């Protein structure tokens, strides 16, 4: 895991959208809601912003309500998480606004937030639940 924190909001989204422009399929926002693993009344919303079905690469916006906790899971490939607002946490630390958290292939974690947060996620990974 690598974590970077910027003094000002990091603009990785601009780089990736331009870098993968020819391959990405830009779609209308496809929104999915999921329940928190620890509280059925707490939700997260995942908006699929763009994806390349050939490579599996996608860009997603995650909005997590305060108190949200995801199920422990394994990443089958890389996941880059830019914290746009709030604070994300997992077993390895705390990631405030402006942080870029990199989850490597085969990494396992249980992300959660006490304050709520908004994340921009770049990934090719599938998330597989782990006990």
pLDDT of 64-108, one tens digit each? Answer: 999 999 889 999 999 999 999 999 999 999 999 999 999 999 999
pLDDT at position 17, please? 45
Backbone angles phi, psi at 13, to 5 degrees: -60, -40
Instruction: Provide the whole-model pTM.
Output: 0.74
pLDDT at position 127, please? 87
Residues 6+ apart with CB under 8 A from 21: none
Question: In 10 A of CB 63, how many CB atoms?
Answer: 19
Statement: residue 32 has pLDDT above 50: yes
Q: What are the Cα distances from residue 92, in Å, to 3, 50, 65? A: 10, 29, 21
Helix (H) or strand (E) holding 21, with range, is none
What are the extents of the domains in the chain? Answer: 2-129
Statement: residue 13 has pLDDT above 50: no
Which CATH superfamily, name and number, covers 2-129?
Jelly Rolls (2.60.120.10)
Q: How far apart are CA 117 and CA 82, in angstroms?
A: 11
């Amino acid at each position: 895991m690598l974590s970077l924190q910027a003094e000002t909001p990091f603009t990785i989204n601009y780089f990736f959208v331009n870098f993968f422009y020819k391959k990405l399929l830009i779609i209308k926002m496809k929104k999915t809601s999921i329940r928190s693993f620890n509280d059925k009344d707490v939700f997260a919303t995942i908006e699929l912003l763009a994806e390349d079905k050939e490579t599996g690469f996608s860009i997603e916006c995650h909005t997590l309500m305060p108190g949200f906790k995801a199920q422990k899971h394994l990443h089958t490939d890389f996941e880059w998480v830019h914290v746009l607002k709030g604070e994300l946490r997992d077993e390895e630390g705390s990631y405030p606004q402006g942080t870029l958290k990199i989850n490597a292939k085969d990494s396992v974690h249980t992300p959660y937030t006490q304050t709520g947060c908004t994340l921009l996620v770049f990934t090719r990974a599938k998330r597989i639940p782990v006990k």
